[in-house]
Amino acid sequence: MYQSFIGLEIHIQLLTETKVFCGCRAAFGDEPNTNVCPVCMGYPGVLPALNEEAMRKAYLVARALHCTISPAAVFARKNYYYPDLPKNYQISQFGSPIGRNGHFDLEFHRKKKRIGIHEVHLEEDAGKMIHAGDMSLLDYNRAGTPLLEIVTEPELEIGEEAELFLQNFRRMVRYLGVCDGNMEEGSLRCDANVSVNLRGKGLGSKVEIKNMNSSRFVRKALSYEIERHQEILGRGGTVLQETRLWNENRDLTESMRTKEEASDYRYFPEPDLPPFKPSEVFLKAVDEALVELPEVRRARLLTEHSLSEGQVDFLIEEKARADFFEETVALGVDPGQVAVWMSADVKKMLNRRGVELADSPLTPGRLAELLKLLESGRIHGKIAKQVLEAVFDTDHDPTAIIKEQGWEQITDPAEVERYLEEVIAANPQAVEAIENGDSKPMGFLVGQVMQATSGRAEPKLVQNALKKRFAVQTVTLLEMGGAITGRVEDGMVVAGEPGESRAILARVAEKASAADRSAFTQVRVEVPTTEGRFSEEVDPEDWAALLATVDRLLSEGNTAGIVVTHGTDTLPYTAALVYWFFADTKLPIVLTAATQPGEEAESNIRSALMQARSGRPGIYVAIHGELLSPINLKFERVAPDGFANWNLASPAHTGKPLVSSETGLPNRDTLKRALEDALRSVYVARVFPGMRAESLIDVMGSGTRFIILELYDTGTANVRETQFSIRKALVAAREKEVRVYCTSQQQGIVDFSEYPAAHELWKDGAVPMGRLTTETVFARLLAALVLSENDDEVRSFMEVADA
């Protein structure tokens, strides 16, 4: 088994007004050769003068990286000839840099890791050579601009880890305000060195990779290079020590030159600059500029507010964004609401208009005002979105906007009731249907009232008025087939007729005490699917029908709770699916199933109905007198205890959902198509002894973008180098950008971070799913694919650790 070592050399252009050793302007994009003088052009006899601002920023980075600060930083000449270097030497540091022995903490795949920082030193940048046809042109504007080099220890192991390091590092320098971090313009550049060797044998031959101008290329180049080394070593070859270039068009590295040794540069101390000895005043100023860094802020925000990790990650990505969040919260609004608005509607608005938060008309004051108007009920959700848009359009305050537009909500119940009576008078058929027990027209009536008030009536008031008018106390039972509503014919269980649950309910009610009876008579039965099928035949259409019906019932708000009767085999999928879509439900949603019709079915339906009437919001599975979590439900064919619950967490999952459906799901047909698309891109496989990688590679070609791979428990995962190794499949997946999520065949909580073979898996890009079962991960992926706007959102939804 091989081990890889990656070290990064990162160069950042410090944001200073002037160059590091002369007074020329340091700016990107000016006319070529306009920001030059005798000093930076290397004329004979000129003297460099050190820019203290550059030094302050350099020390700031060294401090943020927890380096030991040198009491005397020495400048040295690095001698080499290149046309973009007019002096024939570069002023750099060698032997006594600004800082050494620092570290940078990383959290990779839910595991914390500390990466050593070898040193931080300041140097001057070279000019730029521009090749135009058969001519080469030189622009010296960049020559002499301050460049800070950060060298890590070779402690990163795989491309993905290096990519994450670079992204987090970039975020840090932007927080510090020392560099804009723009990799395309070259203000942040990264070279990497990589070596591969047999595990335990130390470093191998070192190869340096250049020309990677995005963090994605850093990942791809390193993954390619590690693979190349392993291949060479695998056939007994030797890796040549050299410098290679990443070719982004061909997705490979190409040899450039064999590497110079440090002695080739003939370093010697710069005679024109004395060693820099930072004074106490200087160091104090540096410490004062040290802002709270992203990782620290992340931890603090997670402790201070009940936000999900995904929300906090979004907020801290930019310092300005995190500042905006905290300033808004400080004005007395709910942090959860601020986070939701910032990550959804505000983000969309900014993207659509192509503006940055700081340059937009939205201020923390205005967002707080908007959210307070919403909270106090003066406007409702839909109007709030219009107000936000109007803030961007008109640059006015939210309160002024609702006055100008007449958008203030009707909050007087009597006024709402007056509108309702008008609507009722105009729709006698709907009223008659409702009075006969059909709830569907309730939503229609809500819509009519909203229309009559131009959307100004508070939806909750309308619903309350309706409930009051029709006294709705009913639970809705959604019949999805399965043995629970089946019949026994010739000793075999067959699907019952659609609506079979009405007969079961009548039997349950008959046996119930007088006090409990109403619980089983005030039940509305709906059959979302068209057939009274067995649930093992569940297809995307059935799921779409179920999800759309639940969504409709939740938004109509005229049911006291929802019971879903289902088949046993596929319940672990459907229960998890309902959870991932509706975890933030305000009603009880109770799923139930039975292995046999008759008494078992009646008993389970009885307990599900009692739970649905309890008023306790959440998603539950009621079975054999127990309430189980919808997550990690595992069916085993052992009657009468047909279900085993893998995680023993409380079923009261009322936590924040990772993706919220609060804006309402798409309609049934759209949902069906979205689920079909999602299912086409997902493949579930279980690792078995002797499994061949080819069987997985084959499915990657046919539109599969995600694979859920169920591994053995804590033993090997077929990643050894044999013909039966699945490693090849993981490598292929990475190349084809197919995401592999790993679950376990082991019952109980499996901590993949302790998985002996985990390192090898994550190295190849597989993602551990912690303690979630395959069924639960599958359902989560479907929900993510339906509710996310792009692959990045899917990724972050899948890769956020569960609370």
**C-alpha dist (Å) from residue 12 to 114, 697, 771:** 21, 40, 40
- Confirm or reject binding of residue 26 to Zn ion (CB under 5 A): no
Minimum Å distance from CB 40 to Zn ion?
Answer: 3
Residue 631 near residue 776 (C-beta atoms within 8 A): yes
Contacts of 781 (CB under 8 A, 6+ apart): 678, 682, 706, 708, 741, 794, 798
Measured CA to CA, the distance from residue 335 to residue 324 in angstroms comes to 12
Candidates 29-37, 110-118, 383-391, 611-619 — which segment interacts with Zn ion by CB under 5 A?
Answer: 29-37
DSSP string, 90-135: EEEE-SS-SEEEEEEEEEETTEEEEEEEEEEEEEEPP-EEEEETTE
Tokens of 546: 């179920």
Nearer to Zn ion by C-beta: 39 or 387? 39
Nearer to Zn ion by C-beta: 127 or 540? 127
- Confirm or reject binding of residue 46 to Zn ion (CB under 5 A): no
Task: Report how far Cα 612 is from the mean position of its chain's Cα atoms.
Answer: 33
Helix pair angle (309-316, 791-799), 10° resolution = 130
Nearer to Zn ion by C-beta: 36 or 120? 36
Candidates 18-26, 76-84, 499-507, 656-664 — which segment interacts with Zn ion by CB under 5 A?
Answer: 18-26
**C-alpha dist (Å) from residue 611 to 89, 141, 317, 482, 622:** 79, 73, 42, 21, 8
Nearer to Zn ion by C-beta: 39 or 700? 39
| Four-CA torsion 265, 269, 271, 277, nearest 10 degrees | 140
Nearer to Zn ion by C-beta: 46 or 433? 46
Number of residues that bind Zn ion (CB under 5 A): 5
Minimum Å distance from CB 140 to Zn ion?
Answer: 9
Candidates 24-32, 225-233, 619-627, 647-655 — which segment interacts with Zn ion by CB under 5 A?
Answer: 24-32
Candidates 20-28, 50-58, 236-244, 277-285 — which segment interacts with Zn ion by CB under 5 A?
Answer: 20-28
Name the strand (E) or helix (H) holding 402. Answer: helix 398-405
- Confirm or reject binding of residue 22 to Zn ion (CB under 5 A): yes
- Confirm or reject binding of residue 126 to Zn ion (CB under 5 A): no
Minimum Å distance from CB 49 to Zn ion?
Answer: 10
Minimum Å distance from CB 43 to Zn ion?
Answer: 10
- Mapped onto helix, strand or coil, the DSSP state of residue 394 is helix
**x/- string (CB under 5 A) for Zn ion, residues 269-308?**
----------------------------------------
Largest CA distance in the chain: 107
Minimum Å distance from CB 60 to Zn ion?
Answer: 24
Nearer to Zn ion by C-beta: 39 or 117? 39
Residue 317 near residue 309 (C-beta atoms within 8 A): no
Nearer to Zn ion by C-beta: 37 or 252? 37
Minimum Å distance from CB 177 to Zn ion?
Answer: 24
- Confirm or reject binding of residue 37 to Zn ion (CB under 5 A): yes
Minimum Å distance from CB 23 to Zn ion?
Answer: 7
- Mapped onto helix, strand or coil, the DSSP state of residue 581 is helix
Minimum Å distance from CB 354 to Zn ion?
Answer: 36
Nearer to Zn ion by C-beta: 140 or 643? 140
Measured CA to CA, the distance from residue 608 to residue 587 in angstroms comes to 13
Tokens of 148: 């800070």
Nearer to Zn ion by C-beta: 88 or 747? 88
Rg (CA), the chain: 32
Nearer to Zn ion by C-beta: 39 or 188? 39
Nearer to Zn ion by C-beta: 38 or 71? 38
- Confirm or reject binding of residue 40 to Zn ion (CB under 5 A): yes
Candidates 37-45, 284-292, 568-576, 616-624 — which segment interacts with Zn ion by CB under 5 A?
Answer: 37-45
Minimum Å distance from CB 407 to Zn ion?
Answer: 58
Minimum Å distance from CB 48 to Zn ion?
Answer: 10
User: Nearest CA to 624 among 606, 646, 650, 647?
Assistant: 606
Measured CA to CA, the distance from residue 592 to residue 611 in angstroms comes to 11
Minimum Å distance from CB 46 to Zn ion?
Answer: 9
Residue 179 near residue 239 (C-beta atoms within 8 A): no
Nearer to Zn ion by C-beta: 92 or 558? 92
Tokens of 636: 């085993």
Minimum Å distance from CB 32 to Zn ion?
Answer: 14
Tokens of 237: 């070859």
Contact set for Zn ion, span 220-239 (CB under 5 A):
none
Contact set for Zn ion, span 433-452 (CB under 5 A):
none
Name the strand (E) or helix (H) holding 303. Answer: helix 294-304
Amino acid making up residue 222:
L
Nearer to Zn ion by C-beta: 24 or 696? 24
Residue 163 near residue 216 (C-beta atoms within 8 A): yes
- Confirm or reject binding of residue 54 to Zn ion (CB under 5 A): no
**What are the helix (H) ranges across 21-83?**
52-64
- Confirm or reject binding of residue 143 to Zn ion (CB under 5 A): no
- Confirm or reject binding of residue 24 to Zn ion (CB under 5 A): yes
Minimum Å distance from CB 53 to Zn ion?
Answer: 15
Binding site for Zn ion (CB under 5 A): 22, 24, 37, 39-40
